[in-house]
Amino acid sequence: MKKILYLTLVSAALVLLNTSCGGPKKMSATEDSQEVILPLSGKEFQSDKEFYRAKASGKSPDIATAKKIALNNAKAEIAGLISSKIKTVTDNYTNQRSVADAQDFESKFETMTREVVNQQLVDVAIIGEKLFKKGSTYDYWIGIEVSKKAILEGINNSISKNQKLAIDYDKKKFEEIYNAEMEKMEAQQ
């Protein structure tokens, strides 16, 4: 009898609680929000196995300054992308090969890679631009790309000039790991 009374009270409390709070409320994810589509956001502006790509924006009351800001932001983004991929490739390379002093090799290799990336970023290709004006401010969007082949060739040329790195460098093995990472990156997108 106590169990029946207890169950009845608990059920009544739940019903009362549910109705006093207005019952279950349906929440809409799009309630009071609006989807924003970013400029230059198509697949042709994403990195693939052939090119590193980045897009960025810059704002300024002056069009030329807005473009410079956007270009610098895009170059910084693409440099970060390249550096992280090269770091992964270098780690995999040193793990798969017997390199005399792996830490020293990685450190020198990363320094040399940064120099190559900086040289390559001078000649980035602009693949898209959009300009918006709101009030007195310009919002400049830019998409850029750099060839992965050019980066790899730059690395190979730099290593051939550095005798210490050249000793532990197997060009074919490095290219194999590099290309495998580029395939993975394209598959993730």
Per-residue pLDDT tens digits for 2-61: 455 444 544 555 555 555 455 455 545 567 888 888 899 889 999 998 999 999 999 999
Average pLDDT over residues 67-85: 93
Reply yes or no on whether the pLDDT at 73 is more than 70: yes
**Chain center to CA of 116:** 19
Contacts of 120 (CB under 8 A, 6+ apart): 146, 150, 151, 154
Average pLDDT over residues 88-92: 85
CA 114 to CA 109: how far, in whole Å?
Answer: 9
Per-residue pLDDT tens digits for 119-173: 888 879 999 999 999 999 999 999 999 999 988 888 888 888 888 778 778 888 8
Say what the pLDDT of residue 6 is: 47
Phi, psi of 30 (to 5 degrees): -100, 5
Per-residue pLDDT tens digits for 116-129: 888 888 879 999 99
> What is the reported pTM?
0.73
Q: Which domains does the chain have, with CATH numbers?
A: 44-188 (3.10.129)
